[in-house]
Chains A and B, each alone.
Chain A
Amino acid sequence: MAIIQVEHLNYQYSNSDTKAIDDVSFEIQAGDWVAIVGHNGSGKSTLAKLLIGLMAADSGKITIDGQELTPDSVWQIREKVGMVFQNPDNQFVGATVADDVAFGMENRGVDRDTMVVKVDRALKQVGMSAYKDREPANLSGGQKQRVALAGIIAIAPKILILDEATSMLDPRGRQEILAVIQQLKTDLNLTVLSITHDIDEAANADRLVVIDDGRFVEEATPDNIFNHGQQLIDMGLDVPLSEKLKDALQKRHVAVPQSYLDERGLIDWLRTSRLNK
């Protein structure tokens, strides 16, 4: 079942001559992880803001969990969607880390005892328990992002939207957060929509939606997108290491396979092609 349906969506900023979102349609199945990719300025973040009703589309239709997004339904729909932005400074409200994680639940009238348990659990899941009583302002960028994620985890939404949410984390922090999200997705049958230009985050997705100049370009599995070589740079993604190495080997007259191989696949191919002394 499609949990998110986008039909012929259009949006233009008042100070711009061109459409930021130009007739975009796609749908996302419940329980899927879909990554929206595109270079800076391609319209990815605008799309995310339209999906959560932070801005209203000029035309087109968004349906979330069977309910059409309208000025009347926007609050009900936001109950179902948690969103983490790139810059966590813009989303902090609490005096302490624990207060901040509790904020979303307070808005939803959760009782205090439940809240205390959920805050502790959410902070543990993102590895921030030791910082419970600290001021969010004094945390590093990566730590802040973990706290923001904990706030979302605590309200257990149906849909999680990540707007370049891991771009400030170091590689290990990013892997840890992605693992947490993967686990939550399984446990809660969460639908994840991530807007990203991180290749590792994109590789975690079931499907990728490519956006350019506000237009839908294609939708495919990560493997099918990752064999686009240098074109990936235009899509706002990096070229995977395995493809870069294949390219460098080809320049040295090595007859590498044409189809896309991930790192594991390329290592296997190299092993079988190794000269036995």
Chain B
Amino acid sequence: MATDITFEQVDYWYQAGTPFAVQALKNIDLQITPGSFTAVIGQTGSGKSTLIQHLNALLKPSSGTVKIGDRVINNETKNKHLKPLRKKVGIVFQFPENQLFEETVIKDIAFGPQNFGISETDALVLAKRMAGEVGLDEALLKRSPFDLSGGQMRRAAIAGVLALEPEVLVLDEPTAGLDPRGRLEIMQLVTRLRQEQNLTIVLITHQMDDVANYANQVIVMGHGELIKQGTPRKIFSDPKWLEDHQLGLPSATKMAYELQQAGFTFKTMPLTVEELADQLTPQLSKGAISHE
């Protein structure tokens, strides 16, 4: 059964009940539907990472409820029996390569499934398949994970989460620190996984171009609150609001707003370079069009 995730009036306090209590989430209502691609954006410290740790009950709401499929999580939920959720919703944390530890890449990928009771033999078969899924060359699997490049380590860590065969894949800035080629490869991988394995994707990112290119739903966090929600087109249609909340625009959209100042008009604001070029071309004089 496909897994829906629903937050109802979720509050979360760090160090609750102490003088150091800090409220990290305030009254969050949201829904993540199966097969969707949700981008979570917001400034550093806005509550994005706290939010995603509620997606598989690594954190439990201080008040309110999180429904993950047919499980309801609230502040009274015991830590027992949460394991199936961790398998259903896999989280790839920031700099996941810091969590690699086994002697070989293949053992590292197979570690997760064994934790969930799968035999070593089966886990290794699964690990090999997942390494293929993320595009890790078979020759690398017997190497130490620490001999891999940054992008390869990132793939190995993603394969380790995929080996749990989750329905929802959550990624916290999976391209941070990678070079542009590595970033593109990871985003293409995520897109392909979503299409081929019908995965639901939740992506925390600062890259507005990635939001424009890949997401169909955007959640904007600010000071622990969900301050806006909608399609990328809706979110990026209000540059003043984004500016006030210290958020950026996709690079093509930003340029379109500048071109508006120069007299160009746009029916809908372009989100990508292709959309921008489509709308600009008919507005150029004949002299600017080549007649080859």
- Is A249 a contact partner of B280 (Cβ separation < 8 A)? yes
Interface residues of B in 259-292 (CB under 8 A from A): 259, 262-264, 273-274, 276-278, 280-290, 292
> A108 near B: Cβ within 8 Å?
no
> B235 near A: Cβ within 8 Å?
no
- Is A249 a contact partner of B281 (Cβ separation < 8 A)? yes
- Is A271 a contact partner of B262 (Cβ separation < 8 A)? yes
Please report the number of residue pairs spanning A and B whose Cβ atoms sit closer than 8 angstroms: 114
> B132 near A: Cβ within 8 Å?
no
Contact of A255 among B263, B264, B283, B289 (CB under 8 A): B289
List of A residues within 8 angstroms of B288 by Cβ: 254-255, 273
Binding stretch for chain B, among A96-104, A110-118, A164-172? A164-172
Interface residues of A in 1-49 (CB under 8 A from B): 15, 39-41
- Is A267 a contact partner of B258 (Cβ separation < 8 A)? yes
> B177 near A: Cβ within 8 Å?
yes
List of A residues within 8 angstroms of B289 by Cβ: 253-255
Binding stretch for chain B, among A150-158, A215-223, A237-245? A237-245
> A263 near B: Cβ within 8 Å?
yes
Contact of B277 among A168, A173, A234, A245 (CB under 8 A): A245
List of A residues within 8 angstroms of B94 by Cβ: 141
Known: A249-B280, A255-B290. A167 touches B262 (CB 8 A): no
Name which residue of chain B comes closest to A263, CB basis.
B255
Least CB distance, B176 to chain A, in whole angstroms? 6
List of B residues within 8 angstroms of A255 by Cβ: 288-290
- Is B280 a contact partner of A270 (Cβ separation < 8 A)? yes
Name which residue of chain B comes closest to A38, CB basis.
B179
List of A residues within 8 angstroms of B121 by Cβ: none
Number of chain B residues whose Cβ lies closer than 8 Å to a Cβ of chain A: 46
> A95 near B: Cβ within 8 Å?
no
Q: List B residues at the A interface (Cβ < 8 Å).
A: 43-45, 94-95, 147, 149-151, 176-182, 206, 208, 246-248, 251-252, 255, 258-259, 262-264, 273-274, 276-278, 280-290, 292
Given contacts A40-B150, A167-B176, A172-B246, 14 further A-B contacts (CB under 8 A): A140-B45, A141-B94, A169-B44, A170-B43, A234-B181, A245-B276, A248-B277, A249-B277, A254-B280, A254-B281, A255-B289, A270-B259, A270-B264, A271-B263
A-B residue pairs in contact (CB < 8 Å), sample of 28: A86-B177, A141-B44, A142-B44, A168-B176, A170-B43, A171-B248, A172-B247, A173-B44, A234-B181, A236-B181, A241-B252, A248-B273, A248-B274, A249-B277, A251-B277, A252-B278, A253-B292, A254-B281, A263-B255, A267-B255, A267-B262, A270-B259, A271-B263, A273-B285, A273-B288, A274-B285, A275-B282, A275-B285
The 9 closest A-B pairs by CB, nearest first: A248-B277, A273-B288, A238-B180, A140-B44, A255-B290, A197-B179, A170-B206, A271-B262, A142-B44
